[in-house]
Chain A
């Protein structure tokens, strides 16, 4: 017994010594800190892992505390970069101590999911039908506004139960932005935001809360991130886009929306992708951004951050699709590169 203990202590001591030895040899790693959106967190953590493996010496510490927190922290200067699903408002931009760039990193889509016995995936919904359901104007599934587009489906006369996010979220922002864009009634009555005053429905916390409500309640409809809906094999609606075709949410239709919007991409990338042009474009898509200040305070950190962002927009984009985020289209990446070149330390570009 005693001998075992002694061997154990010796082994432990050895491990401890070698560990100490290794960390002494490697240069003190540079830690870049960030905070913000939860939506792109799976992608970012994959990126950080891969990038740190390929570039030892650079570590990332990212806290997915929500877009609002990301904006607050980068504004206060407590993190090296922020991340957000909703672009900063002009009023918030005005409060910044210095200029800030929105660097688009991925495109996500919001799927409309439902739970209807006997009705498979791909239920066709027009802009008006979707808005009226969430406004509480359409209350039954066999309403003519739904039935007329789905002649083959056996729609029950059940009540529609609307499920929405109760927590403030970028997903809600994209979804309500879409409804505000396509439906004047929604824009006037509810508007767009991360939390809104929902005319009807049950609030669920997080994607899992909404998905739980939809799965458990017969006749329910809700909205969740595409990745979440796909992983949970939920029935997703095909939405009519501005060209008039019904498009189900997929990576391809999300990319199509991004391609449609890339021609009109503004220089600061603060743009919404909802209701994008293109025959195959899915209408409820949104960009997610990393926020970086134009004037970096620390040369080494700034350099590492810019190098990482450059990597993320080129090599890193290959990791988007497996995680169900659509990549940033090529023409936009070129524009982002031009922006990255403007990031500087004491007037010197860090690109």
Chain B
């Protein structure tokens, strides 16, 4: 009986290990394929691929910097908007909202996460862009048009539109992870602050703030990961212009968008290879973001523990 159980355990363990290895192998294969397919471009173009700002398929001059810039800026813009929104909503739902409101709000948030991105893109074109253009960008441009961030003519499709749309797409992630993290705070600690005469704000600031920052940071990275790779919705509102300009009102381009746009009709080996290399750069960018996040997180956790114990 006992030994049979051991065999089962053994088999179970090895099978799950196989599945875990499969994930690892898949990632490595993906990486190897990206490298192999982009080798012609890497050899021919070299390092200037990520420093050159000209993307000209006709003359076969390939510089991916504008796409890199667009991906990074639109994603960080999205985080900038989504973080306070998601965390704020999570605190409200967990700490203040009456019970009858909690379920519908969290249900709707999860629903938002399940909407296909092309639907977000269509909504972006037909609803978000006109509203942003007429009720935000135009007035701001009139008053603050001299600030480099808001310079230039107002079209609608822009880096800002991409950032706003992305932020709406990642709020559900930040919201639901933040809620999970908030729920892990021991009730005793919260009650302790309140019993010492602290206000609710102080309770949230001291206990939850200290306890939850690593988790919320993790939620942010999760959202950032989605924003970096988002393709359809971004390409529909970003304007698809490979330029590097500071103004958020001007159109931009992202790495995922250019691959989606140009891959199907790309003829010529170098052109195809250059597009794959953009995928490779995006792959690296995602890895770097996650590694940096892990490093920061590792340093943060002990400090947060200290804070929580204080």
- Are B56's CB and A197's CB within 8 A? yes
- Are A193's CB and B156's CB within 8 A? no
Whether B241 sits at the interface, judged by CB under 8 Å, is yes
List chain A residues, Cβ under 8 A from B263.
168
- Are A192's CB and B58's CB within 8 A? yes
Closest approach, in angstroms, between the C-beta of A192 and any C-beta of chain B? Answer: 7
Interchain CA distance A305-B156 in the complex, whole Å: 48
Identity of the chain B residue whose Cβ is nearest the Cβ of A168 in the assembled complex: B265
Interchain CA distance A289-B54 in the complex, whole Å: 32
List chain B residues, Cβ under 8 A from A217.
155-156
Identity of the chain B residue whose Cβ is nearest the Cβ of A197 in the assembled complex: B56
Whether A179 sits at the interface, judged by CB under 8 Å, is no
- Given the known interface contacts A89-B267, A191-B59, A197-B57, the answer about A202 and B241 at a Cβ–Cβ threshold of 8 Å is yes
Kindly identify, within residues 50 to 86 of chain B, every residue whose CB is under 8 Å from any CB belonging to chain A.
Answer: 54-59
Q: How large is the interface on A (under 10, 10 to 19, 20 to 34, 35 or more residues)?
A: 35 or more
Whether A8 sits at the interface, judged by CB under 8 Å, is no
- Are B58's CB and A203's CB within 8 A? no
Interface string of A76-102 (1 = CB under 8 A from B): 000000000000010010000000000
Whether A329 sits at the interface, judged by CB under 8 Å, is no
List chain B residues, Cβ under 8 A from A190.
58
Whether A121 sits at the interface, judged by CB under 8 Å, is no
- Are A169's CB and B156's CB within 8 A? no
Interchain CA distance A218-B129 in the complex, whole Å: 13
List chain A residues, Cβ under 8 A from B267.
68, 71-72, 89, 92, 194
Identity of the chain A residue whose Cβ is nearest the Cβ of B57 in the assembled complex: A195
- Given the known interface contacts A202-B157, A204-B240, the answer about A167 and B58 at a Cβ–Cβ threshold of 8 Å is no
User: Residue among B59, B240, B241 with the most chain A CB within 10 A?
Assistant: B240
List chain A residues, Cβ under 8 A from B261.
166-168, 195, 203, 205
Interface string of A152-184 (1 = CB under 8 A from B): 000000010100001111100000000000000
Interchain CA distance A92-B263 in the complex, whole Å: 17
Interchain CA distance A190-B236 in the complex, whole Å: 24
Whether A262 sits at the interface, judged by CB under 8 Å, is no
Kindly identify, within residues 37 to 61 of chain B, every residue whose CB is under 8 Å from any CB belonging to chain A.
Answer: 54-59
- Given the known interface contacts A68-B266, A216-B156, the answer about A209 and B58 at a Cβ–Cβ threshold of 8 Å is no
- Are B155's CB and A68's CB within 8 A? no
- Given the known interface contacts A203-B241, A205-B240, the answer about A168 and B54 at a Cβ–Cβ threshold of 8 Å is no
Whether B218 sits at the interface, judged by CB under 8 Å, is no
Kindly identify, within residues 37 to 76 of chain A, every residue whose CB is under 8 Å from any CB belonging to chain B.
Answer: 65-69, 71-72
- Are A195's CB and B262's CB within 8 A? yes
- Are B58's CB and A159's CB within 8 A? no
- Given the known interface contacts A166-B235, A166-B240, the answer about A195 and B265 at a Cβ–Cβ threshold of 8 Å is yes
Interchain CA distance A190-B170 in the complex, whole Å: 38
List chain B residues, Cβ under 8 A from A195.
57, 261-262, 265-266
Interchain CA distance A168-B268 in the complex, whole Å: 13
Closest approach, in angstroms, between the C-beta of B203 and any C-beta of chain A? Answer: 48
List chain B residues, Cβ under 8 A from A89.
267
List chain A residues, Cβ under 8 A from B129.
216
Interchain CA distance A194-B242 in the complex, whole Å: 16
- Are B157's CB and A65's CB within 8 A? no
- Are B54's CB and A197's CB within 8 A? yes
Interface string of A96-111 (1 = CB under 8 A from B): 0000000000000000
Closest approach, in angstroms, between the C-beta of B59 and any C-beta of chain A? Answer: 7
Whether A115 sits at the interface, judged by CB under 8 Å, is no
Interchain CA distance A202-B157 in the complex, whole Å: 8
- Are B156's CB and A197's CB within 8 A? no
Closest approach, in angstroms, between the C-beta of A41 and any C-beta of chain B? Answer: 13
Interface string of B163-202 (1 = CB under 8 A from A): 0000000000000000000000000000000000000000
- Are A191's CB and B58's CB within 8 A? yes
Whether A196 sits at the interface, judged by CB under 8 Å, is yes
Interchain CA distance A316-B58 in the complex, whole Å: 35
Closest approach, in angstroms, between the C-beta of A220 and any C-beta of chain B? Answer: 9
Whether A201 sits at the interface, judged by CB under 8 Å, is yes
User: Residue among A197, A203, A217 with the most chain B CB within 10 A?
Assistant: A203
Identity of the chain A residue whose Cβ is nearest the Cβ of B157 in the assembled complex: A202
From the candidates B130, B235, B236, B265, name the one contacting A194 in the complex (CB within 8 A).
B265
- Are A196's CB and B57's CB within 8 A? yes
From the candidates B54, B130, B156, B239, name the one contacting A203 in the complex (CB within 8 A).
B239
List chain A residues, Cβ under 8 A from B126.
212
List chain A residues, Cβ under 8 A from B253.
203
List chain B residues, Cβ under 8 A from A203.
239-241, 251, 253, 261
Interface string of B248-260 (1 = CB under 8 A from A): 0001010001001
Interchain CA distance A202-B253 in the complex, whole Å: 10
Interchain CA distance A212-B236 in the complex, whole Å: 10
Kindly identify, within residues 143 to 164 of chain B, every residue whose CB is under 8 Å from any CB belonging to chain A.
Answer: 153, 155-157
Interchain CA distance A185-B254 in the complex, whole Å: 29
Interchain CA distance A170-B57 in the complex, whole Å: 14
Interchain CA distance A201-B253 in the complex, whole Å: 12
Chosen A-B contacts, 29 in total, with CB atoms closer than 8 Å, are: A65-B264, A67-B265, A68-B266, A69-B264, A72-B267, A92-B267, A161-B155, A167-B261, A168-B262, A168-B263, A191-B58, A193-B57, A193-B58, A194-B57, A194-B267, A195-B261, A197-B57, A197-B59, A197-B242, A202-B155, A202-B157, A202-B241, A203-B240, A203-B241, A203-B253, A203-B261, A205-B235, A212-B126, A217-B155
> Which 8 pairs between the two chains have the least Cβ-Cβ distance?
A203-B240, A168-B265, A166-B240, A66-B264, A197-B56, A191-B58, A68-B265, A167-B261
Additional A-B contact list (4), CB under 8 Å, known A168-B263, A205-B260: A195-B265, A203-B241, A205-B235, A205-B240
Question: Residues of A with Cβ closer than 8 Å to B?
Answer: 65-69, 71-72, 89, 92, 159, 161, 166-170, 190-198, 201-205, 209, 212-213, 216-217
